[in-house]
Structure 1
Amino acid sequence: MKKMMPWLITILLAVTLIVVAAFLLMDKIFPSDANDVKAAVQNVETNRMSADQIVELTAQITDIKTNLADPDYILSVDIAFQLDTAKSKEEFEKIKAIKITPLIIKAIADTKPEDLNGASGKDQISSKLVNIINKNLTEGSITQIEFTKFIMASI
């Protein structure tokens, strides 16, 4: 038994070190979506504007209806997009039907109904949409997304 004791201690120490290393590296290997959402929210900036400026820089997409990740639920939304410049709004208007709407439908199709409950759920999907759409804009960027209509219903 005395001859096996150093081996047992060495094996237990090695297993413990491997478990601790795996635990510490888990967040880097498998990043969580919560970190992405927090980063997206921090990157979005809003400035004070007059009502006329807001109207001038806001584009709308209305009547988007799609299933959620759970096929028993459907979502109907109208979305207002505030862009950073008038030029970017013009570009957005040109591509919203052929490029932006499909991106929104894909993002919503990956979302579970329970992820959209409450204000935090809507904030998360807004942040996700800002990131996805800004990558696909030809000019400028979206500074804010607001849901002007949000109806989620079971089929």
Structure 2
Amino acid sequence: MFKQRLVNIMLIILVTLSLMGALTLVLYTQFFQETKAESEISIDDIIRTSVETDEITTNLLSNHIIRTSFVIHLDNTKSKEEFEKRDFQVNNIIIQELADMKESDFRGSEGIRELEERVRDRINDILQDGYVVHVYMNQRIIQ
């Protein structure tokens, strides 16, 4: 009886040590491993999945003329290919958004940021594979 009790105690100690080791391994891999945040995308990846629009010249609501171009960053190369096929739709979206703006909307950075967000949202509505991460106004000349 003494030998069986000693074996049972030994098995309990081995199972306890094994569980503690497994728990330590899980905690170490979950909390102490350095992970790269999703928001830290390399510039090479951004360039690889970005498309620059042609220069667009159109009238603003305030009877001024704007000449502009955009760089549109997409989430992957498949969405970039679809975007390139839909370039005429994208140009139409940009012209429609610009036609509703006045020259005064471009005086501060807030107006440009709002335009970029509206263009991003409208392009995301037409894309089927992927999405637009960010829209950058690359050039802006108002006359």
Task: Indicate whether the TM-score tops 0.5.
Answer: yes
Which residue in the other structure is 1:95 paired with? 86
Q: What letter is aligned with 2:57?
A: K
Deviation larger for 79-88 or 111-120: 111-120
| Alpha-carbon distance in structure 2 between the residues aligned to 1:62 and 1:99 | 13
1:64 aligns with 2:56: yes
| Alpha-carbon distance in structure 1 between the residues aligned to 2:92 and 2:61 | 15
Give the structure with higher Rg (CA). Answer: 2
Residue 114 of structure 1 deviates from its aligned partner by 1.1
| Alpha-carbon distance in structure 1 between the residues aligned to 2:73 and 2:67 | 20
TM-score (norm 1): 0.65
Which residue in the other structure is 2:116 paired with? 126
Contact 1:130 1:144 in 2 (8 A): yes
1:80 aligns with 2:85: no
Residue 70 of structure 1 deviates from its aligned partner by 1.4
Residue 62 of structure 1 deviates from its aligned partner by 2.2
Which residue in the other structure is 1:27 paired with? none
Give the fraction of aligned pairs with identical amino acids, expressed as a percent: 29
TM-score (norm 2): 0.70
| Alpha-carbon distance in structure 1 between the residues aligned to 2:39 and 2:56 | 28
Which residue in the other structure is 1:53 paired with? 45
Cα RMSD over matched residues? 1.2
> Once superposed, which parts of structure 1, at least 4 consecutive aligned residues long, lie more than 2 Å away?
none
Residue 138 of structure 1 deviates from its aligned partner by 2.5
